[in-house]
Chains A and B, each alone.
Chain A
């Protein structure tokens, strides 16, 4: 469609690797930012991240995350000194929410850092060597794990172990990895027949090279998009787990626990439950919006 112009300027500056990288990043950002809502999502995520990381500085009562009681100020409605009110023992809800966001991010990052590489590599292997026995084995095991909604699986594992942050993280890893395996499996099975893979094989490239340098780069778009969206879902699932008491134990604040603690006091002391619930929705919304942008940003590459 585009006939190359016969007059290519000889004077074009030779591109240096550093300039290429910068250009690439600028191009990616342009594509991401085309969708306004994704930028909003990114803003939300960054905002929440700052709240979590800088909690000791930003929160008005940073020590309320510990075993603090202040019955004089208990169950106060939102007001000037307590923007989101206090809970039944007088702790500032807002400061606790900021801190609880730390747990949420830790949960999200922790689960994904483990499951994404593990699940994806497993899927690549199963997909590339599709007709070998170990591929079938991997996929059958994956199917078994996928036969249950992730929540149930996480619950199951979680309830067996002692309830704490680490164990619920572990439980969620258990439930989350098969989705990435299935994703990369279906991509690898179709990509392994592509010309560039075949030619690499003929050239005698090592299997590791083919898997990681040829096939994997073409999957990164889907993987990263799913991972971005999953951050939100993991946080949501984590909140649900802590809602039933599995996860961070008191007095450390966790978003789900705060909601369930406050549920008893509805509707009169609504702020104890509602603000943590809104906090959950906010961060999940942020990652969801970002997900669309990540998809657009990386789709051109494939």
Chain B
């Protein structure tokens, strides 16, 4: 699995397990996640709420909660082992390597500091040349805001978060994430909390900025539609595992994993078929997860082996990988 970093990938996650220690027991959220992002690639992670998407990306930046444990697995950023990094390297990772945009822009900006103070602080920690100088910070911040089509950037910098609308706040976050050069931006459901009318606009600004700065993007969403619009490749996630990944066009052409198939069927279509059905059943209890494949209890194609053994991530060619015994092959992802 470690050969991937040799091909110059930005982020490589191999067989990541993450558990949370709670009063009730060990919550085994991530059960062996594999993820790979190449430079300049736009990747979407699609999955139900609670399947571990946020945990996955938070572990890249090492901002998991204090009660988290990583018993197994590795994360590589540009070839370096993230989990073994020292403080100085982590600072560099966060300052200039990866940035993150959170779901709720109201909560992700400090309410008692101005936008300017927060942006300048982010720029100051980017490790860029002259980032300590106030005028350089000002210049970069104004430019970043202007790039996200914000009117009157100087005034915005002097404002407080509560004085801006939700859409504007999210655009500020986008600007902040790309004010200085980054290898990768992570956006965790950036438009879920916004009005429908501006969701589209914000998404376009995001992809625009990412492309013009030649960064990679990990976009988390629960909507296949959004994923299709914005990404080059899609990862489908279920209950702490990646169950399928393929390029966007390929995934929409042919879904292999039973879960992905069911997800596709959930999308309502105007061209007949009526309103979609849900998928019966629930996500497993992470305190006591099933032994084998975690989708097995809900899977129409499951057999005895699925309940006992966990499937690997099988490469079907062209980077289309599936975690299902139906497609078992040699050569993992």
B259 CB to nearest A CB, Å: 14
B281 at the interface (CB under 8 A from A): yes
* Pairwise interchain contact B280-A6, C-beta atoms closer than 8 A: yes
B319 at interface by CB-CB < 8 Å: no
With an 8 Å Cβ cutoff, the count of chain A residues facing the other chain is 6
CA distance A292 to B332 in the complex (A): 53
A34 to B278, CA, bound (A): 37
Q: Does B269 contact A (CB under 8 A)?
A: no
Give the docked Cα–Cα distance between A2 and B282 (Å). 7
Question: Of all chain B residues, which has the CB nearest A1?
Answer: B49
* Chain A minimum-CB-distance residue to B278: A3
A5 closest partner in B (C-beta): B282
| B281 touching A5, Cβ below 8 Å | yes
Distance A1 CA – B50 CA, assembled complex (angstroms): 8
Q: Which residue of A lies closest to B23 (CB)?
A: A34
Within 8 A of B (CB), among A1-16: 1-3, 5-6
Q: Roughly how many angstroms separate A5 CA and B284 CA in the complex, as a whole number? A: 12
CB within 8 Å of A: which B265-282 residues: 278, 280-282
Q: How many A-B pairs fall under 8 Å by CB? A: 11
Chain A residue contacts of B280, Cβ below 8 A: 6
B residues near A2, Cβ cutoff 8 Å: 282
Kindly provide the distance from the CB of A121 to the nearest chain B CB, expressed in whole angstroms. Answer: 36
Tell me, in angstroms, the Cα distance from A80 to B78 when the chains sit together: 75
> Which residues on B sit within 8 Å (CB–CB) of A34?
23
Q: What's the least CB distance linking A157 to chain B, in Å?
A: 42
Contact partners of B278 in chain A: CB under 8 A: 3
How many residues of B sit at the interface, in one of the four size bands? under 10
Cα A260 to Cα B197 in complex, Å, equals: 72
- Which A169-192 residues sit within 8 Å CB-CB of chain B? none
Which applies to chain B's interface (DSSP): helix, strand, loop or mixed? loop
Query: B282 — which chain A residues lie within 8 A by C-beta?
Result: 2-3, 5
Chain A residues numbered 22-44 whose CB sits less than 8 Å from any CB in chain B: 34
| A6 contact set on B, CB distance < 8 A | 280-281
Q: Which of A2, A3, A34 has the most CB of B within 10 A?
A: A3
Residue of B nearest to A4 (CB): B282
| A294 CB, min distance to chain B CBs, angstroms | 20
User: In the complex, what residues of A have CB within 8 A of residue B49's CB?
Assistant: 1
Within 8 A of A (CB), among B10-38: 23
Chain A residues with CB under 8 Å of B281's CB are: 3, 5-6
A-side contacts of B50, CB under 8 Å? 1
Q: What 1/0 mask marks residues of chain B from 36 to 58 whose CB sits below 8 Å from any chain A CB?
A: 00000000000001100000000
Nearest CB to that of A7 among chain B residues? Answer: B280
Tell me the complex Cα distance, A6–B280, Å.
7
Give Cα A37 to B49, complex, Å: 35
Whole-angstrom distance from the CB of A9 to the nearest CB of chain B?
15
CA distance A140 to B280 in the complex (A): 59
Nearest CB of chain B from residue A67's CB, rounded to whole Å = 55
Please report the C-alpha to C-alpha distance between residue A6 and residue B278 in the assembled complex, in whole angstroms: 11
Chain A residues with CB under 8 Å of B23's CB are 34
Interface string of A41-56 (1 = CB under 8 A from B): 0000000000000000
Residue of B nearest to A34 (CB): B23
Task: Tell me the nearest residue of chain A to B282, going by C-beta.
Answer: A3
The CA-CA distance from A34 to B23 in the complex, in Å, is: 10
Bound together, the chains give a CA A1 to CA B280 distance in angstroms of 14
Q: How far, in angstroms, from A110 to B280 measured CA to CA in the complex?
A: 58
CA distance A6 to B23 in the complex (A): 29
Name the interface residues of B42-84: CB closer than 8 Å to any CB of A: 49-50
Bound CA span A2–B281, Å? 10
Interface string of B202-213 (1 = CB under 8 A from A): 000000000000
- Could you tell me the distance between the alpha carbons of A2 and B49 in the complex, rounded to whole angstroms? 9
Shortest Cβ gap from B285 to chain A (Å): 11
Closest to B279 in A: A3
The complex places the Cα of A230 from the Cα of B63 at a distance, in Å, of: 40
CA distance A34 to B24 in the complex (A): 11
Question: Complex: how many Å from CA A5 to CA B282?
Answer: 7
User: Which residues of chain B come closer than 8 Å to A5, judged between CB atoms?
Assistant: 281-282
Residue of B nearest to A2 (CB): B282
Min CB gap B278→A, angstroms: 7
Nearest A residue (CB) for B280: A6
Q: What is the 8 Å Cβ interface bit string for chain A, positions 197-213, against chain B (1 contact, 0 not)? A: 00000000000000000
> How many Å lie between the Cα of A267 and that of B204 in the bound state?
78
Residues of B within 8 A of A3 (CB): 278, 281-282
CA of A34 to CA of B280, assembled, Å: 34
Cβ distance A39 to chain B, nearest Cβ, rounded Å: 15
Kindly state the separation between the CA atoms of A6 and B49 in the bound complex, as whole angstroms.
19
| Chain B residues with CB below 8 A from A1, complex form | 49-50
Complex CA gap A3/B281 in Å reads 7
Kindly state the separation between the CA atoms of A284 and B23 in the bound complex, as whole angstroms.
Answer: 29
For B49, the closest partner residue in chain A by CB is A1
Task: Report which B residues bind A (CB closer than 8 A).
Answer: 23, 49-50, 278, 280-282
- List residues of A whose CB falls within 8 A of some B CB: 1-3, 5-6, 34
11 of the cross-chain contacts (CB-CB < 8 Å) are A1-B49, A1-B50, A2-B282, A3-B278, A3-B281, A3-B282, A5-B281, A5-B282, A6-B280, A6-B281, A34-B23
Closest 9 CB pairs of A and B: A6-B280, A1-B49, A3-B282, A5-B282, A1-B50, A3-B278, A2-B282, A5-B281, A3-B281
For the complex with contacts A3-B282, A5-B282, A34-B23, 8 further pairs of A-B residues with Cβ separation under 8 Å are A1-B49, A1-B50, A2-B282, A3-B278, A3-B281, A5-B281, A6-B280, A6-B281
